Amino acid sequence: MANATEQKPAPRFVRADGPDKVTGSGRYVADMSLTGMLHAKFRYAGVAHATIDKIDTSAAETIPGVVSVLTAADVPDVIYSPVVPDRRLFAQDVVRFEGEIIAAVAATTPEIAQQAVDAIVFEYTERPVVDDLEAAMAPDAPLVHEDWESYAVTGDTPRDRNVATFSSIAKGDADAGMAEADMVVKGRYVADGCHAAPIEPRGVLAQWEGTKVTIWTSTQVPFDARNGVCETLGLASNHVRIIVPHLGGGFGGKCGFHFEAHIAALARDARRPVKLVFSREEEFIAPDRRRESMIVDLETGLRSDGTIVARRGWVAVENGAYTADAAFFPQLAAMHVAGPYKMDNVKIDASLVYTNRQPSGSVRAPTAPQACWACESHTDELARALDMDPVEFRKKNAIDTGDTGAVGQVYDEIGMQECIEAATSAIDYGKDLPENEAIGVAIGWWPSFPGPSGAFVRLDADGLGQIVTGAQECGTGAVMTLRQLAADELGMDPEDFQIIYQDTGVGPYDTGATGSQTLLNNGRAVVDAAQQIAEQLRVHAAEQLEAAAGDIVLVDGAAHVAGSPDRSIPIPALAEVAAEGEQLLGKGSGTPPAYPDIPGMNCVGDQGVAAWAAPQFSCHAVHVRLDPDTGVTRVLNVSCAHDSGTIINPIAAHGQVEGGVMMGIGQALTEGTQYSDDGRQLNAALLEYKLQTFADLPTITTAFIQTPTTEAGPRGAKGLAEAPNVPTAAAIANGIAKLVGQPVRKLPMTAERVWEASQ
C-alpha cells in the first residue's frame, strides 16, 4: 500500500521571479529593443495544399524601409525534425498547410514589413486537401508527402504513405481473449484538435556579432532551439546562444525549434538586429505544436464478474502537415487508450496520419486528454453494461501496487487506488444531487521522463549563492523551486540564492520545460552540485572548529559540530576563507532514475513510451450541472487526487493541478479547432476559440498521494505539470453521460453536441 500523506499547509514560498512579474518590470521578448533593430513578418502560404508555381519578391524588395527578404533559396537546403525529418524552414515546391512560411521580411517598421509581405507574389496550383484521418489512410488517398520514402527516418519506425509512424502495444492474445468474454462493448470516440494558447504570443530577437549570434526567444526548450538553428543554418553549437527572458507560458506550444533560424537568417542578411512578435492569429496558425485530433475505436471483452478479459483498439492520431515531435504519439495514445487497468490480452494499433493541417506537437500531456477521454468514457460504458457503479468498476480493475499493466510493466509502490478513494470521498461521491446534476469520475496516468541535466551552484565570498542552470522556467515554478533544494542541502535560506537560467551560453544542458521534467532531472543536478559545496564547507569548518569534517552539520546558515551547537561558524565566514583559495563551486548532473524493463514486450514501432519511469496517477471527480434545454454544461466542483510522488513546493504543485483542471474544462467543453473545407482554421482568435474565463472557475480541491518512489527525482518527486491535464475532460464526459443517458462521442462536448446527443 502506498502511504497517503495528509496535505500540509503550504509554506509561503515566494518565487524569485515574482517581484519582476507583479511590478511589470520583468522583460519578455516583446519588451526588448536593440539599437538599429528591424521588424520581421512572415508570408504564409494561406492555402492548405498547393504546388508552388512562383514566388516573386522583387516588388517587396523595392519598398523603402525593406532591408531583407528571404525564401528557401536563401538558406541551406536542410530537412529537419527528430525521428521523421520532413520539414524545411521555407516551403520548397509544395506547401502543405496554411501556416507554412514561404518568405520572411525584415523592415524598419512592422507596418512596412507587412506591406512587403503583402507585395510578394505567390502563384500556386491547388492540390486536394487531405483532412480526414480515415480517408487519408486509404491506399489511393492523395499524398501529403509524395517523397515520404526518401526521408532519413531513425529508429523502429514503421511507415506507409500518409501514415508517418505506426506503433502497437500488445500483450497476450486479444482475439482469443475476446472470444472468452461474456460480453463485448464497442465504441468510437472522436476528438478535435485544440491549442496550447499561452497568453504570450511568441517573440524572437536575433543579433549577430561577427560569426556568433545571440537569439532571445520565447521557447520552452532553449537547447532544442539552439540545435535547430545550428542544424538548419550550418552553425557550430558554440556560435549560437539562446537566451529566454521571461517566458509567458507555453503548455508545450513553445516546445521545439520554431522560428529562431528564420530571424537569425534575416538578421545576418540585414546586418542588423531583427525582432519578430506574433499576433494572436499567428500564434494560433503558425506553430507546429497543436494538440492532435484523434479517432479512437475501442472494443473490450468483459467477464460477468466485472473483470476485463481483452481489449482491442484502433487509434488514428492527426500528425498534420509535418511530423515535428509527434513520432511517439501513437504509442503514447495507445497506452492511454489501454489505461491504468489490469488486462491480460491487449492489442492496440495506432497510426500518426499526415493531413494538410497545422502540425501536431507536444501540448501539455500530448495525446492523453483525448485518449483518456475515450478510454474513460468507454470505461463508464463497461460499468453500465455490467450494471455496476463506475467507481466500483475502477476500484476492481485499476492497477494497484504490484500489479501488471497493459504492456507487462509491473508497478511497484503506486497510489492509483488511493487516488480513486481520495478524489471520490472528498466530493462525497454517491450523495443525492439535484436533477440535472451529476458527478463524473475518471482516472489517468502519465510517465515521468528521466534525462540528462546539469547545474552549477556557487557561493561567493559574501556567502550568497548563485544557481546557474540551463533549465527553463515556463511559469510552473519548477526552476524557482531549485532555490529551495540548494538551500536545504546547505542549511541556508532560499532567499540567499539567485538563479541564472534559460541561457544556453551559460548554463549546462537541460531538456527544457517539457515532459514535466525540470524538477525531476535538474533538481537532482542542483542537489548534486550543492552537495559538493556542502562537502567543501564541512572541510573548511572542520579546520576552523578543530573537528572531523564528518561531524559538521550545516543548519541555519552556519556550520556546527554535531552535538555541540555552540561550536559553529557562519557560512559567510567560511565563504570568505574559501574565496582566497579553491572557490565554492559545485557542478552536478545526478544519476537519472532508471527506466523499467518490460520482459517479453512485443510492441511494434516502439518509440520508447511503453515502459514508464516513475509513473504518475490521478483521479478527478467532477460535479457538473447540465441545462438540458440547451446542452450547456457548467462545472461546479472538481475534486482531484494525484500521485506525483513527493511534493516539494506545495503552492506550485496546487497551482499546476488547478491550471491543468481549467485547461481540461476548456478542452472538455469549449476548446476545439474548427476548419473550413479547404483546410483553414476558422476560429483563430480568442473570441471564437474559447478559453475558460475567471467567471467559469469552479471550486477545485486537490489531495496529493505522496507515494514513496525510489527511482524518481529528488526526495522521490515525480513529474507533475502535465498529469493534471489528463483526466478532467474524461470526468466531465462521464458526468454529462449520466445526465444525457449516453456518452457524447465528440470532443469538445460543446453545448450543441450535448444537445444533439440528448435528442
Partner 1 sequence: MTHEMNLAVNGTTYPLTVDVSRNLLSVLREEVGLTGTKQGCDDCECGACMVLVDGQPVNSCSYLAVQAGGREVTTIEGLGTADDMHPIQAKMLEAGGVQCGFCTPGMIMSAQALLSDNPNPSGEEIRIGLSGNLCRCTGYQKILQAITEAAVEIR
Partner 2 sequence: MSDPTFTIATSVDDALAALANGARPIAGGSDLFVGARQGKAPLPESIIAIDRLAELATIEATSAGTRIGAMVNHATLMTDPTVVADFTAIADAAALVGSPATRNVGTIGGNVMNGSPAMDTGAPLVVLGATAHLQSQNGSRNVTLDELWIGPSRTSAAPDELCIGLDIPARPERSGSAYVRLEYRRAMEIAVVGAAAHVALDDSGNLAEVSVALTAVAPTILAVDGLDSLVGQSVDDSTLASVAERASEVATPISDLRASDAYRRHTVGVMARRAVDAAARRAQGEQIAVPVNRALGIGASA
256 binds partner 1 (CB under 8 A): no
Span from 349-357, 541-549, 696-704, 747-755 in contact with partner 1 (CB under 8 A): 696-704
- Which residue type sits at 481? T
Hey, how many other C-beta atoms are within 10 angstroms of the C-beta on 728? 32
199 binds partner 2 (CB under 8 A): no
- We find the least distance from the C-beta atom of residue 515 to partner 1, in angstroms, to be 18
Which member of 191, 611, 669, 717 binds partner 2 (CB under 8 A)?
669
Q: Which residues are 345's β-sheet partners?
A: 310
Residues 291, 360: Cα–Cα separation, whole Å: 6
DSSP string, 359-410: PB---SSTTHHHHHHHHHHHHHHHHHHHT--HHHHHHHHB--TT-B-TTS-B
752 binds partner 2 (CB under 8 A): yes
Which member of 219, 476, 516, 536 binds partner 1 (CB under 8 A)?
476
- Total number of residues that touch partner 2 (CB under 8 A): 28
Report what 23 binds from partner 1, partner 2, none; CB cut-off 5-8 Å by kind.
partner 1
Report what 98 binds from partner 2, partner 1, none; CB cut-off 5-8 Å by kind.
none
Which member of 218, 607, 616, 670 binds partner 2 (CB under 8 A)?
670
Residue 204 in 3-state DSSP?
strand
Q: Kindly report the CA angle at 411 between 395 and 344, in degrees rounded to 5?
A: 65
- We find the least distance from the C-beta atom of residue 627 to partner 1, in angstroms, to be 19
Give whichever of 61 and 658 is closer to partner 1, judged by the CB atom: 658
- Total number of residues that touch partner 1 (CB under 8 A): 58
Hey, how many other C-beta atoms are within 10 angstroms of the C-beta on 236? 9
- We find the least distance from the C-beta atom of residue 33 to partner 2, in angstroms, to be 23
DSSP string, 208-228: EETTEEEEEE--S-HHHHHHH
Task: Give which of 592, 729, 727, 169 is closest to 405, Cα–Cα.
Answer: 169
- We find the least distance from the C-beta atom of residue 250 to partner 2, in angstroms, to be 23
Q: What are phi and psi of 694, to 5 degrees?
A: -55, -40
109 binds partner 2 (CB under 8 A): no
150 binds partner 2 (CB under 8 A): no
Which member of 192, 200, 269, 421 binds partner 1 (CB under 8 A)?
200
- Which residue type sits at 200? E
Report what 21 binds from partner 2, partner 1, none; CB cut-off 5-8 Å by kind.
partner 1
- Residues contacting residue 378 through CB under 8 Å, at least 6 positions apart: 185, 187, 189, 298, 300
Distance of CA 104 to the CA centre of its chain: 29
Q: Are strands 746-747 and 183-191 parallel, antiparallel or unpaired?
A: parallel
Of residues 290-319, which lie at the interface with partner 1 (CB under 8 A)? Answer: none
Give whichever of 513 and 740 is closer to partner 2, judged by the CB atom: 740
Which member of 256, 301, 320, 655 binds partner 1 (CB under 8 A)?
655
627 binds partner 2 (CB under 8 A): yes
36 binds partner 1 (CB under 8 A): no
Between the alpha carbon of residue 580 and those of residues 529, 587, 639, the distances in Å are 20, 20, 56
428 binds partner 2 (CB under 8 A): no
Distance of CA 668 to the CA centre of its chain: 18
- Residues contacting residue 630 through CB under 8 Å, at least 6 positions apart: 751, 755
- We find the least distance from the C-beta atom of residue 20 to partner 1, in angstroms, to be 7
Hey, how many other C-beta atoms are within 10 angstroms of the C-beta on 528? 21
Find out whether 505 and 472 touch, Cβ atoms under 8 Å.
no
9 binds partner 1 (CB under 8 A): no
Q: Residues, the chain, total?
A: 759
- We find the least distance from the C-beta atom of residue 685 to partner 2, in angstroms, to be 9
Task: Give which of 730, 652, 660, 739 is closest to 692, Cα–Cα.
Answer: 660
Give whichever of 55 and 721 is closer to partner 1, judged by the CB atom: 721
Report what 8 binds from partner 1, partner 2, none; CB cut-off 5-8 Å by kind.
none
Report what 659 binds from partner 2, partner 1, none; CB cut-off 5-8 Å by kind.
partner 1
Which member of 472, 484, 702, 750 binds partner 2 (CB under 8 A)?
750
Between the alpha carbon of residue 727 and those of residues 228, 517, 619, 706, the distances in Å are 33, 20, 7, 19
Give whichever of 222 and 249 is closer to partner 1, judged by the CB atom: 249
Which member of 6, 9, 12, 677 binds partner 1 (CB under 8 A)?
12
Which member of 692, 701, 707, 725 binds partner 2 (CB under 8 A)?
692
Helix (H) or strand (E) holding 648: none
24 binds partner 1 (CB under 8 A): yes
Report what 632 binds from partner 2, partner 1, none; CB cut-off 5-8 Å by kind.
partner 2
- We find the least distance from the C-beta atom of residue 111 to partner 2, in angstroms, to be 8
- Residues contacting residue 158 through CB under 8 Å, at least 6 positions apart: 165, 166, 167, 604, 605
Which member of 566, 629, 677, 741 binds partner 2 (CB under 8 A)?
629
Residues 734, 743: Cα–Cα separation, whole Å: 7
Residues 571, 412: Cα–Cα separation, whole Å: 41
- We find the least distance from the C-beta atom of residue 241 to partner 2, in angstroms, to be 35
Q: What is the DSSP letter of 2?
A: -
Report what 751 binds from partner 2, partner 1, none; CB cut-off 5-8 Å by kind.
partner 2
Span from 172-180, 605-613, 624-632, 727-735 in contact with partner 2 (CB under 8 A): 624-632
Instruction: Tell me the CA end-to-end span of the chain in Å, nearest whole number.
Output: 45
Give whichever of 48 and 662 is closer to partner 1, judged by the CB atom: 662
Between the alpha carbon of residue 361 and those of residues 57, 151, 193, 667, 735, the distances in Å are 31, 19, 11, 16, 29
366 binds partner 1 (CB under 8 A): no
Residues 594, 591: Cα–Cα separation, whole Å: 9
251 binds partner 1 (CB under 8 A): yes
Beta strands in 108-182 (DSSP E): 121-126, 163-171
Span from 135-143, 202-210, 222-230, 668-676 in contact with partner 2 (CB under 8 A): 668-676
690 binds partner 2 (CB under 8 A): yes
Span from 27-35, 157-165, 601-609, 710-718 in contact with partner 1 (CB under 8 A): 27-35
Please give the grid coordinates belonging to residue 172: 497476450
Residues 107, 487: Cα–Cα separation, whole Å: 48
280 binds partner 2 (CB under 8 A): no
- Contacts with partner 1 by CB under 8 A lie at 10, 12, 14-15, 17-28, 30-31, 197-201, 246-251, 277, 279-281, 474-477, 651-652, 654-655, 657-663, 685-687, 691, 693-695, 697, 699-700
- Contacts with partner 2 by CB under 8 A lie at 625, 627, 629-630, 632, 634, 636-637, 669-670, 674, 682-683, 687-688, 690, 692-696, 698-699, 750-752, 755-756
